[in-house]
Amino acid sequence: MARLYVKIKEKDNVAVAVQDIKAGTRITEDLTANQDIPQAHKIALCDISAGKEIIRYGVVLGYAIHEIRKGDWINEHMLELPESPSLDHLEYGTNLVEMENLPMPKRTTWMGYRNQTGPAGTRNLLGIVTTVQCAAGVLQVAVEQMKKELLPKYPNVDDIVAVTHPYGCGVAIHAPLAEIPIRAITNIIRHPNFGGEIMVVGLGCEKLTYSYVLPQEDITKENVLTLQDYAGHDAMMQAIFEMAEKKLQKLNKRHREELPLSELLIGMQCGGSDAFSGISANPSAGYAADLLVRGGATVMFSEVTEVRDGVQMLAARCVDAHTRDRLVEEMKWYDKYLAEGGVGRDANPTPGNKAGGLSNIVEKAMGSIAKSGSSPIVEVLSPAEKPTKHGLIYAATPASDIVCGPSQVASGIGLQVFMTGRGTPYGLAISPVIKVCSRKEMKAHWFDLIDISAGAVVTGEATIQDVGEEIFDMILDVASGLKKPYSDQYGFHNDMCIFNPAPIT
Report pLDDT digits (tens) over 396-415: 999 999 999 999 999 999 99
Question: What pLDDT is attached to residue 1?
Answer: 54
**In the predicted model, is pLDDT for residue 434 greater than 90?**
yes
Bridge partners, 395 (sequence order): 381
Mean pLDDT of 3-20: 96
Share of the chain above pLDDT 90, in %: 98
**In the predicted model, is pLDDT for residue 305 greater than 80?**
yes
Q: What is the mean pLDDT of the chain?
A: 97
Bridge partners, 28 (sequence order): 31
Mean pLDDT of 442-468: 97
125-130 β-sheet, strand order: 159-163, 125-130, 200-202, 224-226
Q: Residue 198 is which amino acid?
A: I
DSSP 3-state of 483: coil
For 241-268, the pLDDT digits (tens) are 999 999 999 999 999 999 999 999 999 9
- What backbone torsions phi and psi does residue 76 show, to the nearest 5 degrees? -65, -20
Mean pLDDT of 54-63: 96
Reference 311, options 294, 322, 325; nearest CA is: 325
Question: What pLDDT is attached to residue 345?
Answer: 83
Question: What pLDDT is attached to residue 468?
Answer: 98
Share of the chain above pLDDT 70, in %: 100
d(CA 367, CA 377): 18
Q: Compute CA 180 distance to the chain's CA centroid, rounded to the nearest angstrom.
A: 18
For 338-386, the pLDDT digits (tens) are 999 999 888 888 999 999 999 999 999 999 999 999 999 999 999 999 9
For 141-197, the pLDDT digits (tens) are 999 999 999 999 999 999 999 999 999 999 999 999 999 999 999 999 999 999 999
d(CA 313, CA 319): 13
Helix (H) or strand (E) holding 424: none
**In the predicted model, is pLDDT for residue 113 greater than 80?**
yes
Rg of the chain in Å (alpha carbons)? 24
d(CA 486, CA 120): 23
- What backbone torsions phi and psi does residue 37 show, to the nearest 5 degrees? -120, 115
DSSP codes of every residue in 129-157: EESSGGGHHHHHHHHHHHHHHTGGG-TT-
Tell me the C-alpha to C-alpha distance, in Å, between residue 222 and each of 9, 217, 302, 491. Answer: 60, 11, 36, 29
Q: Band of the pLDDT at 215, cuts 50, 70, 90?
A: very high
Record the pTM. Answer: 0.96
For 469-489, the pLDDT digits (tens) are 999 999 999 999 999 999 999
d(CA 503, CA 177): 8
d(CA 189, CA 163): 9
Question: What pLDDT is attached to residue 182?
Answer: 98
DSSP 3-state of 96: coil
Question: What pLDDT is attached to residue 111?
Answer: 98
Q: What is the DSSP letter of 122?
A: S
d(CA 288, CA 299): 10
d(CA 181, CA 384): 8
CB 194 within 8 A of CB 171: no
Mean pLDDT of 99-106: 97
